[in-house]
Amino acid sequence: MERLDPEKVPRHIAIIMDGNGRWAQRQRLLKIEGHQRGLEAARAVVDACEELGVRILTLYAFSKENWQRPRKEVNDLMRLLQKALRKERDKLLKRNLRLTIIGDVEDLPTPISDLLVETVEMTRHKDGLIVNLALSYGGRSEIVAGIRKVIEEIEAGRITTDDITPETFSRYLFTRDLPDPDLLIRTSGELRISNFLLWQIAYTELYFTPTLWPDFGKDELIRACIAYQDRERRFGLTADQIREGAAAR
């Protein structure tokens, strides 16, 4: 495997963790066992990101659309999430990890939302890897909520329409305190974004892998980071402009 350049590690990696159900089906296991194995993969990726020097890891854990899944599966997922939060919180507090949440946390069962809010507050002072969980999250809903906040600000006279730019609008999103992702990874071979960070990934590098999420680990993460570092990020400029800018620095 090509060596990863530590100077070019993505600052912010976002992952659509897909394939737990198919993994379980292939192993002839219950779907919840696939989700359990997916949780273990998430732990491994958090460890790997911390080791590689990634600053922010955003994990698409549960979408707004996932509430439409069969009730038993949703209930099983909520129980698994609650159990994992209780089990992992002490470990989290002992490490230099900060937990943040994006999404409509109020949609979650109260015991889970309370645990999340408490853990976010208890890790607020940490300055290591930010583990950002997207829970009951939808990109379109986030943008609509942001628009509503902007309208409220205008009606209250705190801002005018002239104040609205792409940069200022970003302040009304769930991710207002975070930089946009540098790299978005989707597992399981699906080639779509699935309503994830629609505003934030305008210039994010996309990486798709057929690997199912429960089989995704440090080696696969490094492959994605190597693919990222081999790309030229131009942000609308030409290659010559990028080279001239680099030479000027």
Least confident residue range of 9-18, 109-118, 189-198, 237-246: 237-246
DSSP-assigned states of every residue in 75-92: HHHHHHHHHHHHHHHHHH
* pLDDT tens track for 178-198: 999 999 999 999 999 999 999
Domain map of the chain by residue range? 6-137+178-248
Q: Which fold has domain 6-137+178-248?
A: Undecaprenyl pyrophosphate synthetase (3.40.1180)
For the segment 227-248, the average pLDDT, to the nearest whole number, is: 70
What's the pLDDT band for 37 if we cut at 50, 70, 90?
very high
In the chain, the percentage of residues whose pLDDT exceeds 70 is: 93
Neighbours of 16 (CB within 10 A): 23
Torsional sign, CA 135, 139, 140, 145: positive
Which residues does the annotation mark as catalytic?
A: 18, 66
Least confident residue range of 83-87, 151-155, 178-182: 83-87
Cα separation, 18 vs 173, in Å, equals 24
Cα separation, 216 vs 42, in Å, equals 9
Query: What is the overall mean pLDDT for the chain?
Result: 93
The β-bridge partners of 186 are: 16, 208
Pairing of strands 12-16, 205-208: unpaired
Strands in 98-102's sheet, in edge-to-edge order, are 98-102, 130-137, 56-63, 12-16, 183-186, 205-208
Whole-prediction pTM: 0.93
